[in-house]
């Protein structure tokens, strides 16, 4: 059951509790040099003029110029490259100087196919990336790279999904992956969403499969116990409470709509802060924005108009939205969420679906038709390095929530993408109301951080979550600037806790 606000009497006096001792908020190190740290002077540096490409990122010799989402992990930039029909790989770059990236590692697998998300997790002592996979014939599903040594990635394993069918590229193939604890959530078109046990990525096992009539699952984002199930090129959208993975609770279902309230098709969706973003695919392009702060009542906030666009993927970086529009890439001023306004366009040959903000540059990718060696290019968009840290705008559970399942998790949604390795025991602290530590594991994917306890929560118990200032960072190393604390309970009453 998902409860937004607890209405119960507080104890007459709060009892101050000294929590377990935690590491410092910034007590983590990165293996790579981190994200962009360069300044750009368009007048002095012709090669680094704003919105002009300054570098290209390439795959290996087998690269067929079919690229999608890139991202930062552990101080490295990770670039998957693979076409829909399989045969691709992953390349790892130093990216602190984005106009002079240095490739540090690369590998190819005949089984890898086009990926739309970047689900990476630490499993024991290994760093594992989950991608889509395709065998010859009509077999496929998901696959796993071992990135523990970034100089020598290794294809680890794959798992076939029942009902998989290709070349129906959206109907019955894996489209996105999201990692949370021992579960990898895999959305797969009309096959719905699979929950896969990835406690041993070398031997993954399907746990369950959720399907909904006439729903084609395109992406599946999970913030703690809150899941956004979005369509692939349709309008239907749902928010679920998946705190009990075996007993989902529907919170809301709606059709993403245009200005007149009519259903509007979108290509893919994303989450940033307390907003869900949908890349409009009918009636032109541009981002459509919904406020999901109350997941039982999502509210359409506004939309950016791009009559000659055709939406692909959308991402948020504070007050700016980035969206691939098939024929070009666009930046939208998001200062007023009710009216995102296009402020710049980026041109690149090919089917331009992906534009990913990383600090003061954007990484643009095309998945077909690109110029040789230019399927992914780096475009500076701001003169100075990013200096603003990420802000938490949405938590799950919400502050004061009661009856959280003991099988629940804790999630945070930020207003920009974060460095996943900065999410650790010192920067995301969880304890019981009596001060006892709750050990667990930490995950980050794009703008979402998750905490998964090592054991189920205790019944009828109040828990405290703290996100201290100076801990979780963005890809440029800017940390959270203010502290956040909230409480929830697995029983009826949330205790008042003094700190």
pLDDT in tens, 245-256: 999 999 999 999
pLDDT at res. 282 = 84
pLDDT in tens, 144-153: 999 999 999 9
Rounded to whole angstroms, the Cα distance separating 175 from 46 reads: 39
Percent of the chain with pLDDT over 90: 88
Residue 14 has pLDDT above 60, yes or no: no
Residue 41 has pLDDT above 80, yes or no: no
Residue 217 has pLDDT above 80, yes or no: yes
Average pLDDT over residues 223-234: 96
Strand order in the sheet with 193-197: 176-180, 183-187, 193-197, 205-210
Residue 50 has pLDDT above 80, yes or no: no
Q: State the residue for tokens 């296009």.
A: 342
Average pLDDT over residues 189-208: 97
Q: State the residue for tokens 């969420």.
A: 337
**What is the per-residue DSSP string for 428-485?**
SEEEETTS-B--EEEEEETTEEEEEESSPPPTT-EEEEEE-TT-SBBTTSPBP-S-EE
Residue 413 has pLDDT above 50, yes or no: yes
Query: In terms of pLDDT, which residue wins out, 13 or 105?
Result: 105
pLDDT at res. 7 = 34
Average pLDDT over residues 178-183: 98
pLDDT at res. 11 = 40
Rounded to whole angstroms, the Cα distance separating 320 from 171 reads: 32
Give the CA-trace dihedral at 204, 208, 212, 214, to 10 degrees. Answer: 40
CB 192 within 8 A of CB 156: no
CATH 3.40.50.880 fits 15-28+388-498, yes or no: no
CB 277 within 8 A of CB 261: no
The domain spans of the chain are 15-28+388-498
Residue 45 has pLDDT above 50, yes or no: no
* CA 497 vs CA 224, 247, 380, 490: distances in Å: 22, 30, 46, 15
Average pLDDT over residues 55-71: 95
Rounded to whole angstroms, the Cα distance separating 185 from 183 reads: 6
- Give the 3-state secondary structure of residue 47: helix
| 438 strand-pairing partners | none
Residue 5 has pLDDT above 50, yes or no: no
Taking the CA atoms of 221, 223, 228 and 229 in sequence, report the sign of the dihedral they define: positive
| Res. 16 pLDDT band, cuts 50 70 90 | low
Residue 43 has pLDDT above 90, yes or no: no
First CA to last CA distance, the chain: 28
Question: Encoding tokens for residue 7?
Answer: 């209405």
pLDDT in tens, 324-359: 999 999 999 999 999 999 999 999 999 999 999 999
> Of 6-15, 124-133, 165-174, which gets the smallest average pLDDT?
6-15
Average pLDDT, the chain: 93
Rounded to whole angstroms, the Cα distance separating 431 from 464 reads: 5
Average pLDDT over residues 297-301: 98
> Of 18-22, 140-144, 208-212, 273-277, which gets the smallest average pLDDT?
18-22
Rounded to whole angstroms, the Cα distance separating 439 from 431 reads: 8
| Res. 488 pLDDT band, cuts 50 70 90 | very high
Nearest of 460, 463, 458, 450 to residue 403 by alpha carbon: 460
Residue 86 has pLDDT above 90, yes or no: yes
CA 432 to chain centre: 28
pLDDT at res. 169 = 76
Question: Encoding tokens for residue 254?
Answer: 């709606």
Residue 8 has pLDDT above 50, yes or no: no
Give ∠ CA 402-405-408 in degrees, rounded to 5.
110
Residue 9 has pLDDT above 50, yes or no: no
Residue 316 has pLDDT above 90, yes or no: yes
If one counts every other C-beta atom within 10 angstroms of the C-beta of residue 229, the result is: 27
Percent of the chain with pLDDT over 70: 95
């Amino acid at each position: 059951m998902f409860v937004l606000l607890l209405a119960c009497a507080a104890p007459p006096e709060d009892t101050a509790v000294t929590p377990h001792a935690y590491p410092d908020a910034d007590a983590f190190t990165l293996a790579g040099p981190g994200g962009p740290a360069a300044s750009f002077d368009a007048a002095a540096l012709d090669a680094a003029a704003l919105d002009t490409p300054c570098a290209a990122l390439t795959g290996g010799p087998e690269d067929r110029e079919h690229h999608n989402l890139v991202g930062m992990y552990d101080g490295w930039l990770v670039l998957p490259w693979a076409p829909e029909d399989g045969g691709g790989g992953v390349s790892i770059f130093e990216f602190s100087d984005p106009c002079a990236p240095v490739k540090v590692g690369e590998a190819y697998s005949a089984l890898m196919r086009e990926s739309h998300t970047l689900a990476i997790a630490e499993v024991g002592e290994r760093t594992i990336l989950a991608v889509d996979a395709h065998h010859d014939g009509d077999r496929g599903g998901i696959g796993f790279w071992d990135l523990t040594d970034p100089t020598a990635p290794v294809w680890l394993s794959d798992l076939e999904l029942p009902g998989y069918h290709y070349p129906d590229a959206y109907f019955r193939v894996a489209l996105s992956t999201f990692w949370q604890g021992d579960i990898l959530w895999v959305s797969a078109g009309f096959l719905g969403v699979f929950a896969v046990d990835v406690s041993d990525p070398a031997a993954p096992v399907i746990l369950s499969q959720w399907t909904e009539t006439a729903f084609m699952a395109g992406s599946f984002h999970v913030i703690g116990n809150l899941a956004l199930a979005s369509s692939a090129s349709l309008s239907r959208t749902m928010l679920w409470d998946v705190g009990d993975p075996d007993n989902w609770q529907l919170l809301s279902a709606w059709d993403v709509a245009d200005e007149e309230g009519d259903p509007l098709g979108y290509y893919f969706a994303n989450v940033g802060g307390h907003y869900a973003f949908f890349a409009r695919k009918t009636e032109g392009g541009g981002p459509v924005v919904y406020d999901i702060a109350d997941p039982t009542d999502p509210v359409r906030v506004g939309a950016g108009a791009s009559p000659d666009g055709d939406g692909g993927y959308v991402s948020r970086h504070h007050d700016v939205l980035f969206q691939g529009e098939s024929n070009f890439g666009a930046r939208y001023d998001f200062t007023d969420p009710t009216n995102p306004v296009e402020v710049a366009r980026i041109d690149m040959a090919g089917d331009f679906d992906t534009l990913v903000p990383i600090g003061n540059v954007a990484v643009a990718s095309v998945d077909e038709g690109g110029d040789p060696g230019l399927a992914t290019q780096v475009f500076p968009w701001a003169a100075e390095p990013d200096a603003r840290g990420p802000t938490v705008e949405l938590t799950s559970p919400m502050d004061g929530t009661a009856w959280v399942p003991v099988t629940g998790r804790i999630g945070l949604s930020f207003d920009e993408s974060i460095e996943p390795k900065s999410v650790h025991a010192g920067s995301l602290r969880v304890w019981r109301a009596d001060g006892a530590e709750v050990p667990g594991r930490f995950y980050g994917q794009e703008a979402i951080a998750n905490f998964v306890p090592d054991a189920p929560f205790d019944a009828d118990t109040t828990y405290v979550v703290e996100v201290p200032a100076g801990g979780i960072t963005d890809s440029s190393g800017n940390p959270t600037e203010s502290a956040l604390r909230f409480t929830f309970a697995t029983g009826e009453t949330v205790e008042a806790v003094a700190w």
